[in-house]
Amino acid sequence: MSIAGEQELQLPPDPTATAGQGPPPMRSRVAELTLLRERVAAGPNAKATQIQRDKGKLTARERVELLFDPGTFHEIEALRRHRATGFGLETKRPHTDGVVTGWGLVNGRTVFAYAHDFRIFGGALGEAHATKIHKVQDMAEAAGAPIVGLCDGAGARIQEGVTALAGYGGIFQRNVRASGVIPQISVMVGPCAGGAAYSPALTDFVFMVRDISQMFITGPDVVQAVTGEVISHDGLGGADVHATSSGVATFAYDDEESCLADVRYLLSLLPSNNREAPPADAVPADPADRRTERLLDLVPVESSRAYDMRAVIAEIVDNGEFFEVHPLWAPNVVCALVRIDGHLTGVVANQPLHLAGVLDIPASEKAARFVQFCDAFNIPLVTLVDVPGFLPGVDQEHNGIIRHGAKLLYAYCNATVPRVQVILRKAYGGAYIVMDSRSIGADLSLAWPTNEIAVMGAEGAANVIFRREITAAADPEAVRQMRIAEYKTELMHPYYAAERGLVDDVIDPAETRSALASALAMLRAKHRPLPARKHGNQPQ
């Protein structure tokens, strides 16, 4: 019996066996199985393992051990081998075919996973390899449990030709079918090039590790040949590029251990599937009615002064803890998973520290995808508003701020989970509407006494409305300042929207946490069916 094209398996002698008395008894068969499992678990050879370590990378099985609770992982199809021939493949038939698949427990809850083993065929995907991933995807969907892909592969196995490409098609089809049904997480711990990169892009969250992981459709060599541009693998598709520029990576880490620790933490927050509510703390340690006095000093009254919205979020949520999504991309909007009174909640907030908190193309896309994820998995939404509008400029208009901004509008309008809006300071123009206003379906809208809800700022409005009067005046600046003050008094006082029912209540900032906890508790059983349809046609 040959294993992975290596030496024959040598079994120990069975003391109970007797020559000439038929097949070996059960003990010999079990001993054979034990040795086979040990050989499979060890991997192809020590040299391949050392090469992996020299790259600063863990092996597939070491990653699996870090992901799952100790001793809970159940591997499936460990003895699978490819059946391809040609180009020398018939003499190289390692068990697992380069991918470890199975299920286990993460913080006591069932999770499925597959992990590419770069030591075998460079983690490249062939027919058997793909079939194993298809199987674990189907099992995860059927069981209603999250799935994690630990990606470290060289793409399609060239020797198997179009069969390998078809394998990727099956993965993509299952990614889409499971979207919004079970959480899907991709962890990039190695290269991911060509069509292989589309599977992570179809999942809910993408984790990347610096220096060892890259994602791109065409590599540096092809880029140089076609465009003449010279760039490194990391410069083209490294973790920082995708975490800050492209938005492909949700998170970036310096090492695999901290990366997988955060994967475990994220899984502890999320529901197992779209039919469940997110797990809640049985006895929240942070009182729901805790006053948030610090907010009275944290947020400046002057609408032009900056502050850190993350500090506001920390004051409102349980124990000041929140898990920010896409922290390095589109920082002018903050998206975070938090707990309020022990219950998981999604927060979308403008960030005045960056671009004054305006909505631009990346921020709209980031927030829209987060809103869609929360809605798919029954996670209530709180929107903290301090937005001066959409970012003006030729570049924004030519690159489609209209359709990209419409993505966020569509996501909110389509969401059926509980939705509460809190307006801290300014909320101008179309951006006010898009940031989950009452007019697009927010269940409750609360505002601080510092709120300014208007079509635009008072200065701009006065310049438009009173342009001729200001121009004709003997002292244009004096008239301008008078009209600005008049506009503020008439249309921008903090109770204007409340008087017209567009804000449900104006609250003391120190009561923000208790008001949100009460509102979310009231809305917990909310049910709003959507009209019968196959699906909407959301903006692209």
Residue 460 falls in the annotated catalytic set: no
Cα–Cα distance measured from residue 357 to residue 436, given in angstroms and rounded to the nearest whole number: 15
Cα–Cα distance measured from residue 335 to residue 294, given in angstroms and rounded to the nearest whole number: 22
Strand partners, 390: 359
Tokens of 19: 């020559």
Burial class of residue 291 (count of CB atoms within 10 Å of its CB; 0-12, 13-18, 19+): middle
Burial class of residue 443 (count of CB atoms within 10 Å of its CB; 0-12, 13-18, 19+): buried
8 Å CB contact between 97 and 126:
yes
Residue 195 falls in the annotated catalytic set: yes
H or E element at residue 267: helix 256-269
| CB environment 368-381: b (16+ within 10 A), e (fewer) | bbbbbbbbbbbbbb
8 Å CB contact between 72 and 104:
yes
Q: Which amino acid is at 20?
A: G
DSSP H helical ranges for 57-161: 60-67, 127-143
Residue 431 falls in the annotated catalytic set: yes
* Active-site residue (options: 84, 156, 243, 431): 431
- At residue 184's C-alpha, the angle toward residues 183 and 187, to 5°, is 135
* Active-site residue (options: 430, 473, 510, 521): 430
Tokens of 403: 């359709």
Return the closest-CA partner of residue 72 out of 171, 145, 178, 174. Answer: 145
8 Å CB contact between 60 and 76:
no
* Active-site residue (options: 194, 238, 357, 405): 194
Residue 194 falls in the annotated catalytic set: yes
Query: In the block, which residue shows the tokens 């390692």?
Result: 94
Instruction: Say how many CA atoms lie within 13 Å of 504 toward its Cβ.
Output: 15
* Active-site residue (options: 161, 180, 195, 219): 195
Cα–Cα distance measured from residue 380 to residue 518, given in angstroms and rounded to the nearest whole number: 13
Q: What are phi and psi of 499, to 5 degrees?
A: -65, -25
β-bridge pairing 251-253 and 109-116: unpaired
- Residue 494 CA, chain-centre distance (Å), reads 36
Contacts for 242 with CB less than 8 Å, ≥ 6 apart: 206, 208, 215, 248, 249, 252
Q: Which residues are catalytic?
A: 194-195, 430-431
